[in-house]
Amino acid sequence: MKRTLRPILTGLGFYFFIRALIKTLTRDRKTWLGFKYLIGQGIEIGALNAPLATLPWVKVDYLDRLTAPPLRRQYPELETYPLVPVDILDDGESLKTVKIILRILLSPIIFWNIVKIRSEQSIVNYKF
């Protein structure tokens, strides 16, 4: 989408205006990087109450070790904050469920983790 949308917006004279507007609205570096680089679909590990901001057409599945009610009991200081709905229950270290999903779907999925960057080689080189 980026390859087709950018020339159109540049031709109309809107690209740099929109880019400057997004940069102004997202002074947080983490948010700006999420808007700039995350496209398609992916899994965010351990988002809890601070998920990475993404554009509306980016599909994010949230992976955590517990659902929201047990997480609220474990972290009572986050009671007033909204928690993201957990889509995949799994250990963020081993990603056993994600490997099973990859084996079934056989489609590329972008993995990102804002808390701890895991070795992408173990996922890319996973033998089906």
pLDDT tens, position by position, 27-39 = 677 777 777 777 7
pLDDT tens, position by position, 89-120 = 888 777 777 776 665 554 444 444 433 344 44
Q: Where are the domains of the chain?
A: 1-28, 38-124
Three-state DSSP state, 44: strand
What letter represents residue 38's amino acid? Answer: L
Residue 75 corresponds to which tokens in the numbers above? Answer: 């972290």
Q: Tell me the residue length of the chain.
A: 128
20: left (phi over 0), alpha (psi -120 to 50) or beta: alpha
C-alpha to C-alpha distance for 104 and 120, rounded to whole angstroms = 20
pTM for the full model? 0.57
